[in-house]
Amino acid sequence: MAISTVPLHHIIGHFSYSRREREYHHGYSRGHEWSPTPRSTYRLKPINASVETPPFPLFQPPPLQESPSQLEPADPDFYKIGYVRSMRAYGIEFKEGPDGFGVYASKDVEPLRRARIIMEIPLELMLTVRQKLPWMFFPDIVPIGHPIFDIINSTNPETDWDLRLACLLLYAFDRDDNFWQLYGDFLPNTDECTSLLFATEDDLSQLQDLDLASTMRKQQLRALEFWEKNWHSGVPLKIKRLARDPERFIWAVSMAQSRCINMQIRIGALVQDANMLIPYADMLNHSFQPNCFLHWRFKDRMVEVMINAGQRIKKGDEMTINYLSGQQNHMFMQRYGFSSSVNPWDLIAFSGNAHIHLDSFLSVFNIAGLPDEYHYNSGDNFVNGAVIAAARTLPTWSDGDVPAIPSMERKAVKELREECQQMLAQFPTTSEQDQKLLDSIPEPRKTLETAIKYRLHRKLFIEKVIQALEIYRERILF
């Protein structure tokens, strides 16, 4: 079998949430008071992070093929509201399965030397705001003198991009005949949202990560204080009705954080960095090894979703993009509300003096390249993102052509394994206990489920590093 080389920096997770399909204008439209629990016509599960079954066999065992009954096509209205406004999709279909909504190939795609377009989304459907002053909106839906602009203008240009985008989203829901009044019916409500902005103190304690819990408390307080400052009793009705309670505003912030796409766009002669909410493209799930990317087509103001050049796609494959490059799980949790046990950029903080021989470790698992762009050259199903991350996080040594010294390597592997075991022993629960708890969580407790998955993935990651060290010891030292 020919050796294949795959760059790792580009395996699978996702910020979409499970959703419930609703009647249109259930509360996002003007004149309706918003309720966190909208009326349901029939139930759709939320779009959850697809981190359990990566689609690339080089990094994970081949996933089981889902039966047709596990994936249901999206409601026809989901396409219609975009198609009448010039959104186009080619060779794909939006489906919902056990892990939520996603975009799937409707036909085989042979590898081409050029990238292939699968979606075109016009600027008029998006919500965008320039990242820096002066604020510019495309399309410019905020009229001169509207008080929502004063609220947006009061934000910190360096840190408050999500607050600005949340305000713009709420205003779009309130504007007559705006596309987002319809598209909002396919967004998750507060019960379905996995964002830790809705986490209770009990949920945050379940993270078993003091730093992340502290960060999320600050994020929650920041959003609440912003709402209290700008939605007080004296504000005009046109502002008050956008977010009559803090839960509504926090929901909008969670949508902004989890669905924002940062792009550099060119409009005429103006080139600018923008925070963008791009409908339909936000249904693409995350992968550390994506098969698609986004491109701005300036000549007619479109965002194109394109298949990577040379990428072979089979009918039924999920189309994915990379949300954050080179980030650890706590960053994905903070912004998107999901984590992965095979994140190739996760780290373990070792405190001992033990080091293993880097070149020997890499050769055992057929890993080549530099830490910023490791390549994997084998079909061994054991090697996935966690093993790639181990190559980055394990304390190593390398001295030119000096080979590994077996006695030193044995001692180092033993010390590193013991330190990993000590890390696992510090957790109050085991991975087996976490899995049993996950299986018993009631359906509405999405933030609790998210928190337990995070701590479970941390333990699974450490366990995988222990296994990698044991394989290294067996293959090289004996």
Q: What is the pLDDT of residues 454-475, one digit of tens each?
A: 999 999 999 999 999 999 999 8
Q: Is the pLDDT of residue 33 over 70?
A: no
pLDDT digits (tens, 9 = 90+) for 332-351: 999 999 999 999 999 999 99
CATH superfamily entry for domain 72-124+278-321: SET domain (2.170.270.10)
Intrachain domains 72-124+278-321 and 339-475 with the same fold: no
φ, ψ of residue 355 in degrees (nearest 5): -140, 140
pLDDT score for 442:
84
Q: Is the pLDDT of residue 129 over 50?
A: yes
Q: What is the mean pLDDT of residues 192-206?
A: 95
Dihedral of the CA atoms 171, 174, 177, 178 (nearest 10)?
30
Question: Exposure of 452 by Cβ count < 10 A (0-12 exposed, 13-18 middle, 19+ buried)?
Answer: buried
pLDDT score for 477:
58
pLDDT score for 429:
95
Q: Is the pLDDT of residue 149 over 70?
A: yes
Mean pLDDT, the chain, rounded, equals 86
pLDDT score for 70:
76
pLDDT score for 463:
97
pLDDT digits (tens, 9 = 90+) for 407-421: 899 999 999 999 999
Q: The domain at 339-475 falls in which architecture?
A: Alpha-Beta Complex (3.90)
Q: What is the mean pLDDT of residues 190-215?
A: 95
Q: Is the pLDDT of residue 39 over 60?
A: no
Structural domain spans, the chain: 72-124+278-321, 129-260, 339-475
Q: Residue 433 in 3-state DSSP?
A: helix
Q: Is the pLDDT of residue 95 over 70?
A: yes
Q: Is the pLDDT of residue 305 over 50?
A: yes
Strands 270-277, 260-267: pairing is antiparallel
Confidence band of 365 (pLDDT split at 50, 70, 90): very high
Contact 390, 413 (CB under 8 A): no
Contacts of residue 475, defined as CB under 8 A and 6 or more positions apart, other chains included, come to 364
